[in-house]
Amino acid sequence: MSTLIELTGVRKTYRSGSLEFEALRGIDIRIDEGEYVAVIGPSGSGKSTLMNLLGCLDLPTEGRYVLEGEDTSSLDEAALAAIRNRRIGFVFQQFHLLPSMTAWRNVELPLAYAGLPRPERRERAIAALDKVGLGDRVDHRPGELSGGQQQRVAVARALVTEPALLLADEPTGNLDSRSTGDMLELFDELHASGRTIVLITHEPDVATRAGRNLVIDDGLITIDRTTTTGART
């Protein structure tokens, strides 16, 4: 397997006046294509900062972040935006769906930003919704869908650009137990099909679904372990 993600000596320091806070204190991570990795840690551990760096939403203060062989650490905002749109699919705790738009219109948005013609956008959006089990809900608006279905729309939107990396930040945080189970089964299926998934969570039960757990605490990776219950090894 080839390396998809490599972080070397990554530090992130936030400054406010004369005060400094080091959120990440020297992170070294390698993630190969096709891995399903959960990053787990308590509030304030640095996992959200790490997610922002992995998603090219922020840059490290020191160190290198290489994604698909490209060092992103010194790219300008336009280049980072292009990576976010084309190479990374995001799933957040909040669904971030536009309530006035149907499911397929929400899913097509990354393709619209990329300038694809509308017929192709619709075709790919409907195919992505079918992939997450919502082929019969393409014309429903978010208010007509359950919380679990709305999160599936968000997953379809993340997949529609065929990204190299699916990055999920607390994706089950707003779901009930049944919808959480359904969502984790969907991630299992996506991983089994070869998707690379990095899931940020504070819930141990969610983390054990991944094949590998990275435990972060006080800005450092303290444990890097393979799980026995991951969907695919």
Inside any domain, residue 19: no
Q: How far apart are the first and last CA of the chain?
A: 12
Inside any domain, residue 15: no
Report d(CA 199, CA 184) in Å as an integer. Answer: 11
Inside any domain, residue 211: yes
Q: pLDDT tens for residues 13-31? A: 999 888 999 999 999 999 9
Over residues 101-112, the mean pLDDT reads 96
Inside any domain, residue 22: no
Inside any domain, residue 169: yes
Which residues constitute the domain of residue 38? 33-61+74-226
Inside any domain, residue 119: yes
- pLDDT value at residue 102: 97
110, 157 Cβ separation under 8 angstroms? yes
Q: What is the pTM of this model?
A: 0.91
**Minimal CA–CA distance to 86: which of 170, 171, 3, 164?**
164
